[in-house]
Amino acid sequence: MARVSYLSVEDLAPEYQDMPRMKSNITRALAHSPRGARHKAGLGMYLRHESRLEPRLRELAILQVGYTTGSEYEYAHHVDVALSFGVSEADILAIAHDSAGRASSLDPVARAVLQAAREMTEQLRLSDACFAVLNAALDAEALIDLLIAIGEYNGMVRIMAALEVDLEPEFQAYLERFPLPVRAAAGDHR
pLDDT tens over the chain, length 190 residues: 899 999 999 999 999 999 988 899 999 999 999 999 999 999 999 999 999 999 999 999 999 999 999 999 999 999 999 999 999 999 999 999 999 999 999 999 999 999 999 999 999 999 999 999 999 999 999 999 999 999 999 999 999 999 999 999 999 999 999 999 976 444 454 4
Three-state DSSP state, 58? helix
Rg (alpha carbons) of the chain, rounded to whole number: 17
Please say whether the structural domain 23-177 has been given the CATH code 1.20.1290.10.
Answer: yes
Q: What is the pTM of this model?
A: 0.94
Integer Cα distance of 45 and 40 in angstroms? 9
* Residue 18: C-alpha distances to residues 15, 32, 37, 67, 111 (Å): 7, 14, 12, 31, 38
Closest Cα to residue 99, out of 152, 187, 178?
Answer: 178
How many of the other CB atoms lie within 10 Å of CB of 112? 23
Phi and psi at residue 165, to the nearest 5°: -65, 130
